[in-house]
Amino acid sequence: MTLQDILTLDCTQCAVPVQSKKRLLEQICLLAAKQLGTASPTDLLDSLLNREKMGSTGIGNGIAIPHGRLNNTDKAIAVFLTTQQAIDFDAIDNKPVDIFICLFVPENSTQEHLDTLQSIAKLFSNRKTAKQVRKCTNQQEMFNLIQQAT
């Protein structure tokens, strides 16, 4: 499964005005909960925070891929957003993050989860993709960019 398969326009936001890791994760969970309908924002946040306790999902170059598993859904969902200003996310390169691709997957979909994470990391390993995302001025532009990425 790829990011293009599970990302919707409703779960894409550009230049979100948050200034902390916690507020960012809360924003992500509000968007995802609306789409899933089977999990509360609190359940989603707990899932992300539990994963972050194991180590930051900030992969470097201003990018983070927070992700969590859910036991009350059979649907995978992605949330893609940028922030107005980069925020401290404890990334592996100790640099602030402004591009977030969040993934929620069913608890029992381990291989699908790993494959999707790998496809996201591969997509953003090309610095050109991140540069293009940072130039986007609205959610439609960001969504279209991801849908057309290879």
Give the mean pLDDT of 115-127: 83
Phi–psi pair at 3, nearest 5 degrees: -55, -40
- Give the C-alpha separation, 114 to 21, whole Å: 23
* Rounded CA Rg of the chain: 14
Q: Find all residues with CB under 8 Å of 76, minimum gap 6, and list them.
A: 1, 6, 103, 104, 105, 106, 109, 112, 113, 116
Answer yes or no: 113 catalytic: no
- Give the C-alpha separation, 141 to 22, whole Å: 26
Q: Are 82 and 98 in contact (CB under 8 A)?
A: yes
H or E element, residue 63: strand 63-64
| CA proximity to 24, closest of 95, 87, 117 | 87
Annotated active-site residue in 18, 33, 41, 67: 67
Summarize pLDDT for 55-110 with one digit per residue, the tens: 889 999 999 999 998 887 778 899 999 999 999 999 999 999 999 999 998 887 76
Q: What is the pLDDT of residue 1?
A: 76
Q: What is the pLDDT of residue 120?
A: 87
